[in-house]
């Protein structure tokens, strides 16, 4: 540990020395240009961030309309949504929340974002989509289309914190194409960007929301697209997850709700109820899709 600390100290000293050498070699005019550009960029980014937050805040605690007795959920004639899947329980919860008993998804595309190495989520997803296809076939309706994108895991379990920034950066670089490249489907041809992006707590969900916020800040994506809907995991019965806390304090989610009253009161957010148990599957074998 001491050796590692010493090496980091030497590397840091070399880096700082190099930076001062570069700065001193720049002409005064060049240095002023760099500083002025940096300040202008900071002002622009801060202004855009505040603009986006001010337009988003009235919607953040919007109540999700969950009606277990309804026979179908109204959807636009053509839609494209993205779902962030997390390892294990997060994925199972998300698929349960997507289940509302509907069985016609004509011109509806689902894109799933899965972290690298998460074979369990891929298996759950394929089982879910197979069950959906069977359900729709029995009703002589369309299951719509779907695809999946694998991105670098933002942070592995027990991964050292010092290495997390690098993997998080790699994850964001993978996330941008997943958001910007439209699916090869009718909905994808009509709708370039997903209309809504759903997450329920995996770490990748925060970086997806951050990537979307950056795209909108720099006018690379329209503000009307990619609305981030964050539904805190049902397992969080008294406190928010780290992902939830980050999204709450940064304000970059368009809708932010929890599933337990204690959490809602503690953080002053909307309690949408136990959405994960509001599904209306025909049985335990045939799941039915997307409620959100």
pLDDT in the model for residue 74 = 65
Cα 237 vs. chain centroid, distance in angstroms? Answer: 21
pLDDT in the model for residue 40 = 87
DSSP codes joined into one string, 233-266: -TT-SSS--HHHHHHHHHT--SEEEES-HHHHHH
Diameter over CA atoms, the chain: 74
Question: In this predicted model, what pLDDT tens digit does every residue of 32-86 receive, in sequence order?
Answer: 888 888 898 888 888 888 889 888 765 566 555 444 334 445 678 899 999 999 8
Question: Which domains occur in the chain, in start order?
Answer: 2-56 (no CATH), 60-277 (3.40.50)
pLDDT in the model for residue 228 = 96
pLDDT in the model for residue 72 = 46
Angstrom distances, CA of residue 62 to CA of 14, 85, 180, 230: 51, 23, 27, 11
Specify burial of residue 83 (Cβ count, 10 A radius: 0-12, 13-18, 19+). buried
pLDDT in the model for residue 60 = 64
CA 278 to CA 220: how far, in whole Å? 36
Angstrom distances, CA of residue 125 to CA of 40, 150, 188, 271: 45, 13, 20, 27
- Torsional sign, CA 61, 268, 87, 95: negative
* CB-CB contact of 237 with 261 (8 Å): no
Residues forming beta bridges with residue 257, ordered by sequence position: 231, 270
- Residue 291 has which token pair? 């409620």
Q: Which residues of the chain have pLDDT under 50?
A: 2-11, 13-16, 23, 65-72, 281-292
- Residue 40 has which token pair? 């202008």
The neighbour count for residue 95, using CB atoms within 10 Å, is 25
pLDDT in the model for residue 63 = 54
- b/e map 176-199, b = 16+ CB within 10 Å: bebbeebbebbbbeebebbbbbbb
């Amino acid at each position: 540990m001491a050796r590692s600390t010493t090496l980091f100290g030497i590397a840091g000293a070399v880096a700082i020395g190099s930076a001062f050498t570069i700065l001193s070699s720049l002409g005064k005019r060049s240095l002023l240009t760099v500083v002025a550009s940096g300040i202008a960029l900071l002002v622009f980014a801060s202004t855009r961030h505040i603009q986006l937050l001010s337009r988003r805040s009235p919607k953040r605690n919007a109540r999700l309309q969950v009606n277990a007795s309804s026979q179908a959920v109204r959807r636009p004639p053509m839609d494209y949504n993205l779902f962030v899947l997390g390892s294990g329980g997060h994925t199972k919860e998300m698929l349960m929340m997507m289940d509302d008993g509907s069985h016609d998804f004509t011109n509806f595309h689902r894109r799933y974002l899965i972290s690298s190495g998460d074979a369990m989520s891929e298996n759950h997803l394929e089982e879910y989509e197979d069950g959906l296809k069977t359900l729709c076939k029995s009703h002589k309706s369309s299951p719509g289309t779907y695809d999946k994108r694998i991105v670098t895991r933002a942070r592995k379990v027990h991964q050292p914190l010092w290495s997390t920034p690098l993997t998080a950066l790699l994850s964001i670089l993978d996330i941008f194409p997943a958001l910007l490249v439209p699916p090869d489907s009718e909905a994808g041809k009509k709708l370039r960007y997903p209309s809504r992006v759903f997450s329920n707590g995996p770490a990748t969900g925060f970086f997806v929301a951050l990537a979307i916020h950056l795209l909108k800040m720099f006018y690379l994506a329209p503000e009307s697209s990619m609305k981030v809907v964050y539904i805190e995991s049902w397992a969080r019965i008294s406190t928010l997850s780290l992902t939830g806390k980050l999204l709450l304090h940064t304000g970059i989610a368009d809708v932010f709700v929890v599933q337990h009253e204690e959490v809602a009161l503690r953080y002053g957010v909307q309690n949408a109820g136990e959405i994960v148990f509001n599904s209306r599957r025909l049985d335990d074998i045939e799941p039915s899709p997307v409620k959100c």
